[in-house]
Amino acid sequence: MFLDIYDFKDYIDDISPYLKHGVLIDTSVLIPFFDGLIFEYNQHKDDDEKQKIHYVLKWLKLQKNWQPFLVTPHILSEFFKHVKDCYSGYANFNDIVTLIFKDIKKMSDVQVNKDDILNKVELGRSVMEVGDLSIFCVADSYFVKKEKISILTKDRDFQERYQDIKEILVINYAELYPNLLYKQL
């Protein structure tokens, strides 16, 4: 199910049940958020994309609290490869890593085994990123248990995959942000 602010009337009844077990966070959110944090740290001015994510987190009542976020080792691997590739040449690389670790350590981790990931691979489909597949594994396990969970992403593959599944709420921050602004007017 996709989070459309026009379909949800009450935060407590309609959204918070999906946040109760945590929020699976995709690299499509981690990378722009922490790139923005690093930009702000180095340049001492706000980053637009990070501000959009922060605005959505504030609306979800998740700002300044990384504990509800769930990451798989596969998401962390994709994220840290990005950090290494983009920032290892910076003179303040150790400071950057320390800045990132402060928040990443607060997140909860979810283990996913190899066989579960391999079972999610659909030959001929576009989704072959191990991070996405690991999120599919975790989200699908909640669906099987009939428990609700949410996924914070910018990736439309999640919306398409879970559009008809009521136990899984996909929060696409890039699509939600302009709607939140428009609704405030």
pTM tops 0.85:
yes
The first and second tokens of residue 175, run together, are 């699509």
d(CA 136, CA 133): 5
Does residue 149 have a pLDDT over 80? Answer: yes
13 in Cβ contact with 174 (< 8 Å) = no
Instruction: Please give the CATH superfamily to which domain 11-180 belongs.
Output: 5'-nuclease (3.40.50.1010)
Q: Where do the structural domains in the chain lie, given as residue ranges?
A: 11-180
pLDDT digits (tens, 9 = 90+) for 51-107: 999 888 988 888 777 889 999 999 999 999 999 999 999 999 999 999 999 999 999
User: Distance between alpha carbon 77 and the CA centroid of its chain, in Å?
Assistant: 14
Task: State which amino acid sits at residue 47.
Answer: D
Indicate the DSSP class of residue 13. Answer: I
Query: Once rounded to an integer, what is the mean pLDDT over residues 139-158?
Result: 93
Q: How many CA atoms lie within 13 A of 110 on its CB side?
A: 23
* Cα–Cα dist 49/96, whole Å: 18
Q: Report how far residue 185's alpha carbon sits from residue 183's, in angstroms, rounded to the nearest whole number.
A: 5
Residue 85 — φ and ψ, nearest 5°? -65, -35
